[in-house]
Amino acid sequence: MTALLTATSLLNAEPSAAEQRVAEAIKSQQLSVVHFWAPWCSNCQAELKGGGWIKIVKDNPNVHFYFVSVWNGGEDGTAMLRKFEITDQPNVTILADPGPRGQNHIKEFAGVPLSWIPTTWIYKGGDLRYALNFGEIRFSVLQQFLEDSQSEWSHKGEPKID
């Protein structure tokens, strides 16, 4: 019975402060990149060491980047991000979800499943434009997705398939 009550309370838990902040921010018409990571994750470390994150942040000053540390006991990883100059960028916000590591870690964030880190999502106007959910990112691909997310497109006027 205790396990059932614990599971129910976890399902009905209020979103964390980090989740609330991101959920509000992604409604903006400005592009937002939400990057889930943890300092202990070797794939996340590899992305940082390669210099791709600092380059993409600096190359896209009109995009806001949210580095959300998850499954890290509530620690935000600022010390590691500082080593790679990410903390000093005006278009970066560093947050931490307080959820634990291990079996009971969060599995959803802002209504979207979260099952792996690193994970990177791109939003515009509240719409999830791209979700890169499983592992290290190629920064040339991320740059292309950012450019594609800025474009306005429609299917109006296109011929129908018979």
Q: What is the pLDDT of residue 113?
A: 86
Q: What pLDDT does 7 receive?
A: 40
Q: What is the DSSP string of 98-116?
A: -PPSSTTS--EETTEE--S
For residue 153, is pLDDT > 70?
no
pLDDT of residue 94: 97
- Residues forming a β-bridge with 41: none
Separation of alpha carbons 162 and 160, rounded Å = 6
pLDDT > 90: percent of the chain: 64
Share of the chain above pLDDT 70, in %: 86
Mean pLDDT computed over every residue of the chain: 86
| CA separation for the pair 157, 59 (Å, rounded) | 34
Task: Estimate the crossing angle of helix 52-59 against helix 42-49, to 10 degrees.
Answer: 60
